[in-house]
Amino acid sequence: MQIPEVGWLELKYSSSPLRFFPTEGKRYHHTTPIDVTLGKNFPSSIQIQSKPVHQFPFHYLPVHSKKTPQGNVQLGPFVAILTSDSRIPFAGNHRNFADLIQMGKRMGVTVYVLTPKGILNGKPYVKGYLLQQSKPTPTFRKEILPLPNVIYNRVPNRSEEQSYPIVHTIEYFNHKNIPIFNPGFFNKWSLFRALSPTECRSNLPATEKFAGYTSFRQMLIKHNELILKPVDGKAGIGMIKVEGKGPFILYYQTKTLKQRIVLPRLEQVYQQIKKRVGEQNYLIQQGISLATYQGRPFDIRMLIQKDSTAEWQVSGIGVRIAGQTAISTHVPMGGRIESFQRVLSATFPNKKNLLQHKLTQLGIKFAKEIEKQTGARHGEMSMDIGIDKQGRLWFFEANAKPQKFDEPTIRKTSLQRILEYALYLSDFQPYRKVKKA
């Protein structure tokens, strides 16, 4: 029996079989229920409808159909956004989740939010959250949903990622052979240590773990400017900059504080650093004299994602301009976003196209190497890349759970590629646009 490739599934378990509405123009007249598997392994049955959907579109789930090697019919994919239960109804960026769910509707993919409390051990279904309304503020409703085909990890921070509920949930899905991508945050020191022996080393600033006065002194003598940052830090919080040959200038920034201290002796600088670092793990990194735009340093934020064939692609490139008194270019530290084309045209007018080509090559090379070295499945990552005044590219860090790009075309591409890769992992066909219900 021929099954429509894509359509809408009525979410109404009280009626059996479930109604399935094709989106193609071809009319179907099957009246006999068809046994299917929903998501990973939820047994059900459907009845194909010939009439279009007119009412209550939020009760309908976009799905593809496929035949399994055993000849059975499977509907999906169901993609779960994994997050934690630390907020009500769940943690994470609700607007981002809503955007991804809406893109899923256009691509024939049901996306829902899942937390550890939604796992029902031994059951082929979970308690997940579907989008109820998107504007003005996203709201969600809890539903019984099939076990997902793929999991997109968006647990929002390291402490929650290392908590028992999240660790246990990931182990549970690994045991069920459900693919998870973006398995965890990167550790800056582990990443640099892994990349240093590879072909990526020529784009790495000299980097060591902050371990004592002797190594700190030797690095400052060699490079004249150092950046210190927390191994597990984010958004430039807690960064320290040291420069000079005596007197020395120490810069320090937090969410609410920016300090500049002049000290005559290096031992005093070291004591000030120790006071601020405390028991945290820090890196020392060679300071790079970045190219400037309108008198302020800038760096590059790149979004690298896998496509529908699991190949790495550059989805977007942006520029961040440093704030007036900030050490870094991070927006929470006073930085601002600028157009990549505008900034490079102004700063490297004769090298703009060459630099863009080199940036793309570098981003893909680093993404491949990071995935190889971590031995984990990644679907996306963002990278901070510096361009010095001579046009040389420097890799500063990578983020395994990128923040969104606000530029509309980049935003659309980024959402599509997340789901294209999910379709690839689920072994469903590349998407066809689903007509609105």
407 lies in some domain: no
Q: Indicate if 98 and 158 belong to the same structural domain.
A: yes
- The tally of domains found in the chain comes to 4
Picking from 143, 164, 181, the residue at the C-terminal end of a domain is: 181
Question: Has residue 54 got a pLDDT over 80?
Answer: no
Q: Which helix (H) or strand (E) holds 161?
A: helix 158-161
Residues 372/373/378/383 CA torsion (nearest 10 deg): -110
| pLDDT attached to residue 26 | 61
What are the start-end ranges of the E strands in 158-278?
180-181, 207-209, 225-230, 240-243, 248-253, 258-263
Mean pLDDT of 285-314: 93
406 lies in some domain: no
Instruction: State how far Cα 347 lies from the chain centre.
Output: 29
Picking from 258, 286, 314, the residue at the C-terminal end of a domain is: 286
- The domain that holds 121 is classified in CATH as 3.40.50.20
86 lies in some domain: yes
| pLDDT attached to residue 27 | 63
199 lies in some domain: no
Beta-bridged to residue 318, according to DSSP, are: 301
190 lies in some domain: no
Query: How does 325-338 read in b/e, with b if 16+ C-beta sit within 10 Å?
Result: ebbbbbbebbbeeb
Question: Has residue 437 got a pLDDT over 50?
Answer: no
Question: Has residue 338 got a pLDDT over 90?
Answer: no
- What tokens were used for 242? 């040291």
| pLDDT attached to residue 29 | 62
Q: Indicate if 135 and 163 belong to the same structural domain.
A: yes
Mean pLDDT of 374-390: 94
Determine whether 92 is exposed, middle or buried from the number of CB atoms within 10 Å of its CB (0-12, 13-18, 19+). buried
Tell me the C-alpha distance between 363 and 361, whole Å: 6
CB 324 within 8 A of CB 422: no
- The domain that holds 392 is classified in CATH as 3.30.470.20
For residue 123, give its domain range. 78-181
Q: What is the DSSP letter of 237?
A: T
CB 306 within 8 A of CB 419: no
- What tokens were used for 381? 């990552």
- What tokens were used for 269? 């600088």
Question: Has residue 127 got a pLDDT over 50?
Answer: yes
116 lies in some domain: yes
Picking from 264, 286, 308, the residue at the C-terminal end of a domain is: 286
- What tokens were used for 360? 């793309």
Q: Indicate if 82 and 62 belong to the same structural domain.
A: no
Q: Indicate if 396 and 294 belong to the same structural domain.
A: yes
Beta-bridged to residue 225, according to DSSP, are: 243
Question: Has residue 377 got a pLDDT over 80?
Answer: yes
430 lies in some domain: no
| pLDDT attached to residue 303 | 96
Q: Indicate if 232 and 321 belong to the same structural domain.
A: no
- What tokens were used for 359? 């940036």
Q: Indicate if 299 and 394 belong to the same structural domain.
A: yes
Question: Has residue 93 got a pLDDT over 90?
Answer: yes
Q: Indicate if 220 and 236 belong to the same structural domain.
A: yes
Beta-bridged to residue 130, according to DSSP, are: 141
191 lies in some domain: no
Q: Indicate if 339 and 357 belong to the same structural domain.
A: yes
Question: Has residue 182 got a pLDDT over 80?
Answer: yes
Beta-bridged to residue 126, according to DSSP, are: 145
| pLDDT attached to residue 122 | 86
* Ramachandran class of 29: left when φ > 0, alpha when ψ lies in -120 to 50, beta otherwise: alpha
Tell me the C-alpha distance between 118 and 144, whole Å: 9
Q: Indicate if 254 and 175 belong to the same structural domain.
A: no
Q: Indicate if 389 and 295 belong to the same structural domain.
A: yes
Question: Per residue in 135-149, pLDDT tens?
Answer: 889 999 999 999 999
Mean pLDDT of 288-298: 90
Q: Indicate if 112 and 124 belong to the same structural domain.
A: yes
Q: Indicate if 171 and 217 belong to the same structural domain.
A: no
| pLDDT attached to residue 330 | 65
Question: Has residue 430 got a pLDDT over 70?
Answer: no
Mean pLDDT of 373-379: 93
Question: Per residue in 316-334, pLDDT tens?
Answer: 999 988 877 666 676 666 6
- The domain that holds 246 is classified in CATH as 3.90.70
pTM: 0.90
| pLDDT attached to residue 149 | 96
